[in-house]
Structure 1
Amino acid sequence: MSRASVFAVVSTTAALTAAVAGLVDWPAFTSVKNPLEFVLFAAVGWAFAAAGIAAWRTRPHDNTGRLMVLAGQLWLVRGLNFSSNPLAFTIGWALIVTYFAVLIHIIFGFPLGRLRSTWEKWFVGGLYFYYIGSAMAELAFSDPGHVGGERAAPINLLLIRDDPAVTETLQTIFGAVDLLIGIVVIGVLARRWRKGTAAYRAAFLPLWIVSLLGTAVVAILYSIDVKSPGSLEQWGPAIGYAATAMSPLAVVIGLWRYRVARGAVSDVMVEVGAAPLGDSFTTALRRALRDPSLVLWSWAPELQGYVDGDGRVQALPADHEDPRAATVLERDGLPVGALVYDRSLRDQPQLIAAVRSAATVALDNHRLQAELEAQLDEVRQSRGRIVAAGDAQRQRLERDLHDGAQQRLVAAAILLRRAQRTPNEQLMRDLLGQGAKELDAALVELRELARGVYPPVLQERGLGSALTSLAERSPLPVEIDDQLPMRPPPQIELAAYFIAAEAVTNASKHADATLIEIVLRRSGENLELVVTDDGCGGATMSPGGGLSGLRDRASALAGDMALISPRGHGTVITVTLPW
C-alpha cells in the first residue's frame, strides 16, 4: 500500500467524519442519551479504517484491507441518517445497513477477501442489493415526521406515501430475511469449522468468535428492547458500537497471529542454520504453522520422485478437493524437495513463502552434507585403491624383475663363470656368446619395464608420439587424433598416457573390439582424452576394477572420467584433466 493510498483513506475517512459531525446535531440528539455517542460512533469507523490500512499494508495483494476500509466508510455514512438535512438523511438511511454486506464479504473471503465458490459470489453480491433495496423500500412508505423523538423530522426524499401498515409488513419480511441470512452465515462458519483442520481453525478463530458474539449481542439487545422499550436508550447504542468494533479488532488479532507465525518461522530458520535436516526441524515448522499434518519430502534424483523420511516414494496432492496442498522446493531451478501442508494455508502466501525458504535451506544443507559425505567416502575409498594399486604395481615389478631380467642376469653370470673356468677356447667363446645374448635379452626386458614406469618417448617427444608408439605395439588397430596445440604439464601427460594405455589394454582383452580411436584435445582449461572402441560394450566401473583405477588416477589430479558403454554399441571413455 503506497503512501498516497494511505493518505487517500485517511482523508476520505476524515471527510466523512467531519460530514457526519457537521450535518448531525449530536448535542440535541444525545441530550438525554450518552453524550459520548458521537465519539464512540466515529471510533468504530476509524477502527475499521485503521484495521483496513494495517491489513492492506501487510497483504497488499489481498482484498481484506480494502473491504475493511469500505466497511468503515459505510459505517460513517450511516450516521447521516441522524441528520435533519433531507439529502443527508436519505443517503444515510439508504446505506444504513450496507456495511453488513461488507462484513459478511470479509467473513466469507477471509483472509484474502476473495469469495471461493460461485454461490458465495451470488449470495454476497445479492446482499449488497438487498440491504440497499430493503432500506429504500422502508423509506418509500415511512415518514420520519410520524416517528417520535426530540430531533427535527427530516424530509424523506424517497417517500411515496406514509403507510405504517406497509412499513410494518416490510419490516416483518425483512426481519425474516435477516434471520435467514444470519442462519446461512452461521451455517457456513459451522461447516468450515467442522471440515477445517487445526491450522484452518487457528487461522480464522478470532473472526468466527467475533461473528458469533456480534450476532449474540444484537439478538440480546433486540430481545431486551422488545421486552422493556426504552431501557437501553442510554447505553444500548454504545454496547452495539462496541460489538461492531470487535470486527476490526478480530482482523488486527488475526494479523498479530500471522506475524507471530512468521516470527516463529524466522526462529526456525535461526535454529536451522547449517544444521542437518531432522525431525526437530519438521516439528518446529508444524508448530509455527499450527499444522500437525505438515510433512517435508526430499527429492530423489535416482527415483525421479519425492521420498519421505523412510525412503518411500510419495505422490504430491494434485486434486483441488484434496485437503492437503504441496509446494515444490527448488534451488537453482532444480527440485530439492516438497512441502505438504493443510490446503487452508494457501490463504497465507507470505507465510508459506517464509516456510518455503526455511525448508529449502534445510533440504539444501541436507543434500550438500550428503554429497560431501559421499565425496569424502569416495576419496577414502579412492585413496585405498590407489595405495592398493601402488602395492600391486610394485609387486608386479618385483615379479617381472625376478622372473625376467633377474633370471637372465643370473643365467649370464653362470655362463660367464663357466667361461672363466673352462680351458677350452672354443667352449669359452660359445659360453661368452650365450652370456652376451642373455645380457641383451635382460636389457630389452629392463627397457620394457622402464617404459611401463615412465616411457622415454613421452619425456622426449610428448604425449602424441608416446601414444603412437603405444599404438604400434597394440594387438588391435589404434587411430590417434592429436589436436593438442602444445604439450601439457608433465604430470598431466603421464596420467593421460597411462589412462590411455590401460583403456587400450582393457579394450584389447575384454571388449572384442576391432578398432580403437584415441582423441586428444584441449577444452578450455582442461585436457580432454577420449578413447573409443567398437566392441561389445556393457562396461561398468566396479570397485577394484580397471576402470575404477582410471577414475582414481584422474581424480588424484582433480580430474574426472565419464563412461558411456551401452551393451552392443561399444565403449566411450572421456577423461578430463586440468591443464
Structure 2
Amino acid sequence: MGRTAAVLVATATVLLVTGVVASVDWSTAAIHDPARALTLGPLEAFVADRSGLLPAFDRIELITFLVAGVASVVSGAVVWRFRPDALTGRLIVLAGLLWLASGIRRSSDPQLFTAGVVLTHTALPLAIQVALGYPTGRLRRRWEKWYIAGCWLVATFGIASEWLFFDPLSTSAVHPSTSHNLLLIRHIPALAVSIQLTVGIVTSAMAVALIWVLVSRWRSGTQPYRAEFAPVAIGALFAFVVFAAGLLMATHIHLPGPQNSWMLSLRNPTMALLPVVVAFVVSRYHFARAAIRSAMIEIGAAPISDGFVDALRRALRDPSLVLWTYSEKTDCYLDDDGVPKRLSHVPPSRGVTTLESNGVPVGAVVYDESLSAHPELLAAVHSAATLALEHERLRNELQARLIEVKRSRERIVTAGDIQRRRLERDLHDGAQQHLITARIHLSRAKQASDNPHVRELVEHGAAELRTALTELRNLARGVYPAALTDGGLPAALTSLAERTPLPVEIDDATGTRPPARIELAAYFIAAEAVTNACKHAEASHVEIRLRHDDAALRLDVRDDGRGGAALTTGGGLSGLSDRAIALGGTLTVDSPIGGGTTLTAVLPLADGDHRFLEPRHDRPNDR
C-alpha cells in the first residue's frame, strides 16, 4: 500500500464518518424509525419493532457502527501493506468504506436514506470473496466467480427489490416510520414478503454452500494452510452464525427475556470480526520474521540440522519444511541424509526457493505451497537460510583447515621424534662406540709404557675421554632417552629420578603403554618440570603422577618450591606446551608464589581409541 493509496483511503474514511455523523437525524421519531434500522431489511426491521425488540438508535449504536467500519478499513490497510500483491487488503478496505457509507440510511433526506438502503448489504459480497479467495482474494475457479456474482445480485437487486413494493410510511408499527422510499413503485406488502422469502431461501442456500466449501478446504488443506486458514474460516463462520442468529431471534423466534435484543445489538461489531481476524493472521506471519531473526541465533551455536531448520519450521508453522544443500561434486541438491534431490522433481503442492551466494547456488528451501502467499516472509527465509548455509560452508572449510593444521603439526612432531631417535641411535652406535674404543686403546697404552711422563699424559687423556663419553651419553639421553624405548615412560622417569639430586617420587597407575609420541611428550614435560624444580624453584621434593583412561594420558608434576612459574614465550615450558597442543592436548601451570608448582599435561590417546594402548612390555630395541 503506497502513500497515495493510504492518503486516499484515510481521506475517504474521514469524509464518510463525518458525513454519516452529520446526516443522522436525532429527532424522537427518527431514532425509533424501524425503516432506518442499520443492516436490517424492511420487513425484519418492522417485525422487530412490533415485537418490541428493536432498540432505539442512540450514540452507542452509532459509535459501534462507525468503529466496525473504521476497524475494517484499518484492518484492510494493514493487510494491503503487508500483502501489496494480493486483493485481500483492497477488498477489506472497500468493504469497510461501503459499510460506513450505508450509515447515511439514518438520514431524513429521502435521497440519502434511499442510497443507504441500497448500500446496506454491499459489504457482504466483498467479505465473502475475502474468505472464498483467501489468501490472495482472487477467484481461481469459474464457479467461484459465478458465486460472487450471485452474492452481488442478492445484496443489491435482491435487497432493493423488497423496497420496490414496500412503503414504510404505509406500514403499521409501534413507532410509525417517517422515511420516504424513493425506490417505491407500489405498496404491495404480500409481494414484498414473497420477495423477502425468495431472497432468504437463496441466501440460506448460498450460505450453506459457503460453509461447506470453507470446511472442505480446511479439511483437505496441508498443516501450514490450516494454520493460516483456520482463524479466517472460523471468523467468517462465527460472524455469519452470530449475525443470522441475532436476526432470527429478534424477528422470528421470540424467546422470553431481553436476550433477543442483546443478540440484535451484536450485528455491528460482528461485521468487523472477519477483517480483524484476517489482519491478525497476516500480521502474525509478518511478525514471524522476528522469529526468523531469532532463528539466526542458531547460526554459529550449532550445525544447521540441529536447531536452525526447526526454528524456521516453527516460524512458518510448516513442519514439512526442509533445507537442501547444493553439492558441486554431484551438481545437485542433497537432503539431510545425503540423498540427491532435483528441483524438477518437486511436486506442485510444494514451493521451492533457491538460495545463491554471489551467483553460485548454495541450497534450496522446500516448503508448503500455501506459504507462497507470504513473499515478504519467504524473502526473510531466503536471507536467513542463505546466510546459514554460507556460514555452514565456511565453518566446514575452517574445520577442515584446522584438522589439516593439526595433522600437519602432528606430522612435524612425529618427524622430529623420528629424527631424535635416529640421532640418538647414531650417537650410540657411532661416536659413543668410537670413544669407548679410544678409551680402551688409551688404557692399553698406559699399561704398555714405563715412562712416568707418558703414563701421566695417557691418564689425563683417558680422564678427558671419560668426561666426553659421559657428556655424550647425557646428550644422547636428552635427545631420546634409551630407557623410554626399552622400558616405557615409567622406566624413563625412574632413570630421570635416579639422576636428579632431589628426591623424586613416581606414582604410576597407567598399566598400559600409550603411543610412542605421547610417551615422549610426557617424558620431556616431566624432565623440564624436574629441571626447573632443581634449578629455580629451590624445591626439596618432587612428585610425578601418571594416570590415563581410554581418552587421554594425564601427567601431574608437583614440587614444594617457591612457585611463581609461568608459561612465557620462548621459555622451556612454552615449547612443551606447543608440543602438547600439536598432539591435541593441553599443558597448564599452577604456581602460586610460595605455594609450589603443579604442572599438568593432558595428552589425548588417538581420539580415545583404546586400540592405541599397548600392554606394558618392552618394545623391541630398534638400534
- When normalised by structure 2's length, the TM-score is 0.58
Q: Is residue 332 of structure 2 the alignment partner of residue 305 of structure 1? A: yes
Q: Paired residue for 2:62, among 23, 29, 38?
A: 38
Aligned CA distance change for structure 1 residues 317 and 87 (closer, same or farther; 3 Å)? farther
Aligned CA distance change for structure 1 residues 121 and 368 (closer, same or farther; 3 Å)? farther
User: Distance in 1 between the 2:359 and 2:83 partners?
Assistant: 27
User: Distance in 2 between the 1:20 and 1:233 partners?
Assistant: 27
Aligned to 2:355: 329
Aligned to 2:205: 180
Report if the CA contact (8 A) 2:245-2:263 is conserved.
Answer: no
How do 1:156-555 and structure 2 match up within 5 A?
A: 156-225=181-250, 226-228=252-254, 234-273=261-300, 276-316=303-343, 322-374=348-400
- Per-residue CA distance 1:366-399 (angstroms, 9 max, x = gap): 222333444566677899999999xxxxxxxxxx
User: Distance in 1 between the 2:180 and 2:259 partners?
Assistant: 27
Report if the CA contact (8 A) 1:318-1:325 is conserved.
Answer: no
User: Distance in 2 between the 1:134 and 1:317 partners?
Assistant: 50
User: Distance in 1 between the 2:385 and 2:75 partners?
Assistant: 32
User: Distance in 2 between the 1:388 and 1:166 partners?
Assistant: 107
Aligned to 1:22: 22
Report if the CA contact (8 A) 2:231-2:281 is conserved.
Answer: yes
User: Distance in 1 between the 2:287 and 2:403 partners?
Assistant: 43
SS at match of 1:76: helix
Shift of 1:187: 1.4
Aligned CA distance change for structure 1 residues 241 and 83 (closer, same or farther; 3 Å)? same
Aligned CA distance change for structure 1 residues 315 and 248 (closer, same or farther; 3 Å)? same
Question: Which sections of structure 2, spanning at least 5 residues, go unmatched?
Answer: 33-54, 416-623
Shift of 1:337: 0.8
SS at match of 2:193: helix
The code of the aligned residue for 2:306 comes to D
Aligned CA distance change for structure 1 residues 377 and 271 (closer, same or farther; 3 Å)? closer
Aligned CA distance change for structure 1 residues 20 and 119 (closer, same or farther; 3 Å)? same
User: Distance in 2 between the 1:384 and 1:37 partners?
Assistant: 85
Shift of 1:72: 0.8
Aligned to 1:425: none
The code of the aligned residue for 1:33 comes to A
Aligned CA distance change for structure 1 residues 347 and 2 (closer, same or farther; 3 Å)? closer
Shift of 1:310: 1.1
Q: Is residue 125 of structure 2 the alignment partner of residue 124 of structure 1? A: no
Aligned CA distance change for structure 1 residues 273 and 234 (closer, same or farther; 3 Å)? same
Q: Is residue 56 of structure 2 the alignment partner of residue 55 of structure 1? A: no
Report if the CA contact (8 A) 2:327-2:334 is conserved.
Answer: yes
Aligned CA distance change for structure 1 residues 361 and 118 (closer, same or farther; 3 Å)? farther
SS at match of 2:312: helix
The code of the aligned residue for 1:115 comes to L
Q: Paired residue for 2:175, among 129, 150, 161?
A: 150
User: Distance in 1 between the 2:276 and 2:211 partners?
Assistant: 20
Q: Paired residue for 2:158, among 97, 112, 134?
A: 134
User: Distance in 1 between the 2:344 and 2:321 partners?
Assistant: 13
SS at match of 1:278: helix
User: Distance in 2 between the 1:26 and 1:354 partners?
Assistant: 53
The code of the aligned residue for 2:235 comes to V
Report if the CA contact (8 A) 1:71-1:99 is conserved.
Answer: yes
SS at match of 2:139: coil
SS at match of 1:55: helix
Aligned to 2:455: none
Aligned to 1:6: 6
Shift of 1:249: 2.3
Shift of 1:276: 3.6
Question: Bigger CA drift: 117-126 or 200-209?
Answer: 117-126
- Per-residue CA distance 1:403-437 (angstroms, 9 max, x = gap): xxxxxxxxxxxxxxxxxxxxxxxxxxxxxxxxxxx
SS at match of 2:343: coil
Shift of 1:330: 1.3
CA-based RMSD of the aligned residues comes to: 3.1
SS at match of 1:116: coil
Shift of 1:232: 6.5
Shift of 1:317: 6.4
Question: Bigger CA drift: 154-163 or 307-316?
Answer: 154-163
Report if the CA contact (8 A) 2:159-2:199 is conserved.
Answer: no
User: Distance in 1 between the 2:227 and 2:27 partners?
Assistant: 44
User: Distance in 2 between the 1:22 and 1:289 partners?
Assistant: 47
How do 1:82-93 and structure 2 match up within 5 A?
A: 82-93=106-117
User: Distance in 1 between the 2:104 and 2:88 partners?
Assistant: 25
User: Distance in 1 between the 2:22 and 2:407 partners?
Assistant: 88
The percent of aligned pairs where both chains have the same amino acid is 40
* Greater relative CO, 1 or 2 (CA 8 Å, sep 6+): 2
Aligned to 1:393: none
The code of the aligned residue for 1:306 comes to Y
SS at match of 2:304: coil
Question: Bigger CA drift: 182-191 or 159-168?
Answer: 159-168
